[in-house]
Amino acid sequence: MNEKEKVQFLASYDINQYDRPSIAADIAVFSIGRKLAEELDYRRLPTKTLRLLMIRRAEQPYQGEWALPGGFMQQGETIQETARRELKEETGTDKAYLTLCDVFSDIGRDPRGWILSQSFIAVLNDDDLANSHLEASGDAGEAGWFDITVQKTAEHKKEKHNTVTCDKEYELTLERSAPADKTQLRAVVREHIEYRDYHELMTYELVSSEGIAFDHARIILSTFNSLKRMLDSDIRIAFDFMPEQFTLTDLQEAVELVSGQELIKPNFRRKISEYVLETEHQVQNGGHRPSKAFVRNLERFYR
Amino acid sequence: MNEKEKVQFLASYDINQYDRPSIAADIAVFSIGRKLAEELDYRRLPTKTLRLLMIRRAEQPYQGEWALPGGFMQQGETIQETARRELKEETGTDKAYLTLCDVFSDIGRDPRGWILSQSFIAVLNDDDLANSHLEASGDAGEAGWFDITVQKTAEHKKEKHNTVTCDKEYELTLERSAPADKTQLRAVVREHIEYRDYHELMTYELVSSEGIAFDHARIILSTFNSLKRMLDSDIRIAFDFMPEQFTLTDLQEAVELVSGQELIKPNFRRKISEYVLETEHQVQNGGHRPSKAFVRNLERFYR
DNA sequence: ACAATAGTGTCTATCAGACAGTATATA
DNA sequence: TATATACTGTCTGATAGACACTATTGT
C-alpha cells in the first residue's frame, strides 16, 4: 500500500505483454410479424410469426451470408454500450434494454482469430420498428427480418458414472419474411446438457449451417432458449413485443409464439390482468366482434 | 463465398490492428460457516454465517488488500475454463458449476488498463472444502473466508420524465472468520436501478472501499444479489451449500442466510420434500432431539 | 423437569387449469 | 344467418402461509 511503489508499478506495467482476445457483442433482435397473403377468409386474423433480425455481410469472411447484428467493442465504451451502438448503427433503433445472455469464447469460433462474443437479446415492437430506418433501407440489402422456426429433431439421455447428460438436436430455419425473395437459411445445432445436482451445464455446438455466418446459428439457438426461459419465469417480458396500445389476443399470441404452446384464454387474461389497463379504443380486424385496446399498467411493472 | 477470396482475406487480416481489452474472470465463492466460541448454552446450535472467499494480493496494485479469486484469460481456453483454472489454482477446489453472472467493462475500473471482468458465482459445501487445500494453506496467508454482511442503508425512488429510477446504498462488511485476526473489510456500494417497462437496468457503483481491491466490492454486491435472485426463482441452488448428507434445519438455515428472511419450518419442509430422501442416519448436536440426515433425491433434480 | 431443537397435522386463502357460456362484428 | 373472434363466469384441484401440536435429547 506504499503509494510510491504503486505508482512505480503502474508506470512499468505493460498490459500489452499479454495476449488477449477481441470482444464482440452480438444481438438477437426479436419481433413479431404478420404473415401476409392469406386473404382466404375475410374473418380470419393474419397468422403471426416470431421474427429475428439478420444482417447480410458485405465483407469477408462469410461475405454475402447472414449474421446477427453486432460488432467489436471499442475503447472507451462498455460492452453494453457496444451492443447499443451497433444496434443503432445497423438498424437505427435505439432500444435501451438489451439483456445480457451468454458468452461464447471457444477457440476457432471465428476464422479471423481469437474473438469472444457476448450475446444479447433485444425485443422490438411495432412502435420501435416505426422509429427505426429498417423498412426504409429496404433492398439496400443490409438488414432483413426472418421468420424463425426451431424444431427439436432428436434427444438422447445418457447416464454413466453418476452423471446424467442429454444431447438434443435442433433444426433452425430462418425464412425471409418481408420481400418475397424466398431466402431460406438452415442450421442444425446440438445442445449438450450435463446435469450436476440442480445445475445444467449447457453447451451449444454447430452441426451444420447454411447461409448463416460464423457460429451464429448456435448463438441464435442459445438466445432463443434464453428468451423462452425468461418468459417462463416472468411473463412481463411479453409486453416488449407490444406497442403502446395492443389487444389481449395479440399479447397472448406473442407468448404462445415464444413458448411454443397454446394457452387457455381466460386463464391467460386473469394472469396478465394486473399488468394492463383497458382503454376506450377498439380494434376492428375482421368479420367478428372488435377487441378492446389495452395499455400497460406501469405501476405494476415497477416493483 | 469465393473460396480463394476468403483465404486471401484471412491471410491479410490482422486482428491485432484493433485495440482490445484484457479479459479477467472473477469468482465469488460462497459457503456456510459456523460461528465458534459460543459455549454459552450446551443445547444451542452454533450460529451459521454466509461466507465469501477472498485472496490477499501479493502483488501491486492493491498489494496486501483482498480481492476475489480470479485472473486473466489465456489463449486456448474459454472464459469458463479460465474461471475454473483460477479457482483450482488459488483454492485447490475443482468445483465444476460456475454460474456466469455479469460483465464489468467500465473504463477506469482497473488501474492497470482496459480490463473487462466476467463475474461468476460458485457455491462450496463441506465436502468440497474437505477436498480443497484451503485449510491447509492456513496462514500461508493466501486465501481466507470472510463472513459477509450486506445492509441496505438508504433508498431513494425518483420519478421524472416518465422514467422511474431507484438508488439504493448498501454497506458491505467482510469479517475474517477462521483465524481470530479480526480483519474487517468494509465498502459502500450504490445500486442504481432504472425501470423501463418490466426491465430493471441495474448498475453498481463503488462509493468507498476499505481493504477490498479494485472494484471488487461492487462485483461482490452484484453476485450476492444474483445469488439471492437465483435462490428465489429456484430453491434447488440451496443444495449446493449442503454436503452429501445434511439435516433439513441446515438446509433451511442456508436458504435463510442467503435470502435474509426467516421461513416457517413446516412450509419449508413441504416445499423441499420432493428433492430429498430420508436416510437412517441421525445427527446429534446438543441437548435436544437428534435430527435425521437426508440426501438429495437426484431423480427430481434432473428435469 | 426444563429448555432447545426436531418433526407433523391441518385450516385457510389464494392461484392455476379446464371448460362452458355469452357477445358482436361482416359477408 | 353463419362464422370467427372477443370476452366472462365458475368449478376444481393444487399450492403457500400461518399456527398449533407432539417428540426427543442432555443436563
With helix as H, strand as E and coil as C, how does chain A read? CCHHHHHHHHHHCCHHHCCCCEEEEEEEEEEEEECCCCCCCCCCCCCEEEEEEEEECCCCCCCCCEECCEEECCCCCCHHHHHHHHHHHHHCCCCCCCEEEEEECCCCCCCCCCEEEEEEEEECCHHHHHHCCHHHHHHHCCEEEEEEEEEEEEEEEEEECCEEEEEEEEEEEEEECCCCCCCEEEEEEEEEEEEECCEEEEEEEEEEEECECCCHHHHHHHHHHHHHHHHHHCHHHHHHHCCCCECHHHHHHHHHHHHCCCCCHHHHHHHHHHHEEEEEEEECCCCCCCEEEEEECHHHHCC
- The whole-number average pLDDT for the span B115-130 is 95
Confidence of residue B160 (pLDDT cuts 50, 70, 90): confident
- The whole-number average pLDDT for the span B214-227 is 98
* Predicted TM-score of the model (pTM): 0.94
Mutual angle of helices A216-233 and A248-259, in 10-degree steps: 130
Closest nucleotide relative to residue B41's CA, C1' based: C4
Question: Nucleotides on strand D with an atom closer than 7 A to protein CB?
Answer: 2-10, 16-20, 23-27
Residue A224 and residue A148 in contact, taking contact as beta carbons nearer than 8 Å: yes
What are φ and ψ of residue B93, in 5° steps? -90, 145
Confidence of residue B237 (pLDDT cuts 50, 70, 90): very high
Confidence of residue B139 (pLDDT cuts 50, 70, 90): very low
- The whole-number average pLDDT for the span B55-82 is 94
When CB atoms are compared, the residue of A15, A79, A111 closest to B10 is: A111
Give the pLDDT of residue A134: 72
Mutation target among B5, B20, B115 for the A interface, most CBs of A within 10 A: B20
Bigger pLDDT: B37 or B238? B238
Give the pLDDT of residue A181: 73
Give the pLDDT of residue B231: 96
- The whole-number average pLDDT for the span B85-109 is 91
Q: Residue B73 and residue A20: Cβ atoms within 8 Å? A: yes
The pLDDT tens digits of the residues spanning B6-16 come to 777 677 777 66
Q: Considering only CB atoms, which chain A residues are within 8 Å of B199?
A: 97, 99
A-B contacts at Cβ under 8 angstroms: 149
**Closest by Cα among B152, B159, B226, B156 to B195:** B159
Mutation target among A59, A60, A160 for the B interface, most CBs of B within 10 A: A60
A118: nearest CA in chain B? B103
B58: nearest CA in chain A? A1
Catalytically annotated residue among B142, B171, B194, B256: B142
Q: Considering only CB atoms, which chain A residues are within 8 Å of B113?
A: 13, 15
Lowest mean pLDDT among A75-89, B10-24, B82-96, B239-253: B10-24
pLDDT tens digits for chain A (303 residues)? 467 777 776 777 776 667 889 999 999 999 999 986 556 788 888 999 999 999 999 888 999 999 999 999 999 999 999 999 999 998 888 877 899 999 999 999 999 999 999 999 999 999 999 888 775 554 445 889 999 999 999 999 998 887 899 999 999 999 998 766 789 999 999 999 999 888 999 999 999 999 999 999 999 999 999 999 999 999 999 999 999 999 999 999 999 999 999 999 999 999 999 999 999 999 998 889 999 999 999 988 876
Give the pLDDT of residue B149: 97
Strand D: which residues 252-281 of A lie within 7 A (CB)? 265-266, 269-270
- The whole-number average pLDDT for the span B243-262 is 97
> What are the structural domains of chain B?
20-233 (3.90.79.10), 236-302 (1.10.10.10)
The pLDDT tens digits of the residues spanning B174-209 come to 999 876 678 899 999 999 999 988 899 999 999 999
Q: Considering only CB atoms, which chain A residues are within 8 Å of B102?
A: 100
The pLDDT tens digits of the residues spanning B257-299 come to 999 999 999 999 999 999 999 999 999 988 899 999 999 999 8
Return d(Cα B153, Cα B169) in angstroms, integer: 5
Distance from CA of B43 to the nearest CA of A (A): 33
> Taking the CA atoms of chain A, what radius of gyration do you get in angstroms?
22
B295: nearest CA in chain A? A197
Confidence check: pLDDT of B137 > 60? no
Give the pLDDT of residue B163: 86
**Is residue B271 within a helix (H) or strand (E), and if so which, with residue range?**
helix B265-272
Q: Residue A78 and residue B106: Cβ atoms within 8 Å? A: yes
Confidence check: pLDDT of B138 > 90? no
Bigger pLDDT: A261 or B42? A261
Give the pLDDT of residue A38: 56
Give the pLDDT of residue B181: 73
Mutation target among B85, B102, B105, B107 for the A interface, most CBs of A within 10 A: B105
Q: Residue A15 and residue B111: Cβ atoms within 8 Å? A: no
Confidence check: pLDDT of B168 > 50? yes
Nucleic strand C within 7 A of Cβ B277: no
Return d(Cα A67, Cα B250) in angstroms, integer: 50
